[in-house]
Amino acid sequence: MDTKALLKKVRKIEIKTRRLSDHIFGGEYHSTFKGRGMTFSEVRQYQFGDDVRNIDWNVTARYNEPYVKVFEEERELTMMLVADVSGSKFFGTKNQFKDEIVTEIAATLAFSATQNNDKIGLILFSDEIELYIPPKKGRSHVLRIIRELLEFKPKSKRTDIAEAIKFLSNVMKKKAIVFVLSDFLTDGYRHNLKIAAGKHDITGIRIYDRHEEELPNLGMVSMQDEETGELMLVNTASKAVRTNYAKNYNEHVGYFKDSFTKSGAGTINCRVDESYVKKLLGYFKRRS
């Protein structure tokens, strides 16, 4: 993609996702993800109805009249977007590839965080950490994240979610809001997820295509594994082949749900031909 086409695509995504974050998600995001607590703001004279527990006795004694401490919610948070850039992201049979949905969801979340003056960071992973952008604020920073999601060329096509979560735990020392975007067609990440979820507010967003759920009966078909590059002939007319495929797929989905639920993390399941807007809004409303 040349520079002009890339900028045009970035701008198109910005217009669409910023409108969503401005008019739909901004308030929901704010009410769903709270600040780190209350921080001291000022001291003022006591007013009827103030909580007596907030009286500042030192200032009260100095001026011989009651003063109270005023606290404000410490709103500033950090959002980390952890996005899978392995080979399977290019799968899609209905309107959009999975990677395009990932980019739109990530942009919507990022602009929602920007509205609340939060920092946003990005981790792109395959079976290694492909790119890390430390958290920063501002529109130009979000646009850089969108450009990377659109244009980044990973070195590997394989997937290792455990490695990505381990890296997150190492670089993020303070609590963060974390969204892991992947198809989660792998396992082995439960232990690392449990450790990370003990510190961070984590949500797994599973992006999938309905044609991944089961093999259609098309006879003998040549297929290529996007992550390994392996070519193989598959007899889709065989009921046993189709049954084993569905069993393997459902095991991955079950592992995803079980791992996130038992770790205290949230989950969103979003099919590429469904409205991710409704999925995100429903999740935010359930949590707020």
For residue range 85-136, list pLDDT tens digits in order: 987 655 555 567 788 899 999 999 998 888 888 899 999 999 999 999 999 9
| 50 and 133 share one domain | no
Q: Are residues 67 and 172 in the same domain?
A: no
**One domain, residues 69 and 82:** no
- Domain encompassing residue 63: 37-74
Say whether both 121 and 41 belong to one domain.
no
Residues 215, 240: contact at Cβ < 8 Å?
no
Question: CB–CB of 135/79 below 8 Å?
Answer: yes
The pLDDT of residue 117: 83
At 130 the pLDDT is 97
pLDDT at 163 over 90: yes
Of the residues 74, 99, 129, the one at which a domain ends: 74
| Cα distance between residue 35 and residue 73, in whole Å | 6
Whether residue 149 is predicted with pLDDT greater than 70 in this model: the reply is yes
Burial class (CB in 10 A: 0-12, 13-18, 19+), 47: exposed
What is the model's pLDDT at position 20? 74
Q: Comparing C-alpha atoms, which of 82, 80, 81, 100 is closest to residue 90?
A: 100
Task: Give the pLDDT of residue 21.
Answer: 73
- Give the single-character DSSP code of 279: H
List strand residue ranges (DSSP E) for the chain, in order. Answer: 37-45, 67-74, 78-84, 119-125, 129-136, 177-182, 201-208, 220-224, 231-235, 266-271
pLDDT digits (tens, 9 = 90+) for 72-89: 555 578 999 999 998 765
pLDDT in tens, 187-208: 999 999 999 999 999 999 999 9
Is the domain of 134 the same as that of 264?
yes
Domain count for the chain, please give it: 2
Query: What is residue 14's predicted lDDT score, i.e. its pLDDT?
Result: 79
In angstroms, rounded to a whole number, what is the distance separating the alpha carbons of residues 185 and 87?
11
**3-state DSSP assignment of residue 231:** strand
Mean per-residue pLDDT, 26-49: 69
If asked whether residues 244 and 259 sit together in one domain, one would say yes
Residue 40 pLDDT exceeds 70: no
Are 57 and 12 in a shared domain? no
Same domain, 253 and 236: yes
Q: Share the mean pLDDT of the chain.
A: 86
Q: What is the CATH number of the domain that holds 129?
A: 3.40.50.410
> Does 71 score more than 90 pLDDT?
no
pTM of the complete model: 0.79
Tell me the C-alpha distance between 194 and 83, whole Å. 18
Comparing 262 with 15, the larger pLDDT belongs to: 262
13: number of Cβ within 10 Å: 21
Q: Which of 23, 55, 74 is the last residue of a domain?
A: 74
Residue-by-residue DSSP string for 1-55:
--HHHHHHHHHHHHHHHHHHIIIIIHHHHHHHS--SEEEEEEEEE--TT--GGGB
pLDDT of 178 > 70? The answer is yes
pLDDT at 102: 93
Q: Are residues 69 and 81 in the same domain?
A: no
111 with 43, same domain: the answer is no
Q: Do both 67 and 204 map to the same domain? A: no
Residues 6+ apart with CB under 8 A from 10: 143, 146, 147, 150
Which amino acid, one-letter code, is at 55? I
Q: What are 229-288's pLDDT values in tens digits?
A: 778 888 878 888 888 888 999 999 999 999 999 999 999 999 998 889 889 888 988 887
Q: Given this model, what pLDDT does residue 37 score? A: 54
At residue 90, the pLDDT reads 53
Q: Same domain, yes or no, for 177 and 43?
A: no
pLDDT value for 33: 72
* Confidence category of residue 9, pLDDT binned at 50, 70, 90: confident
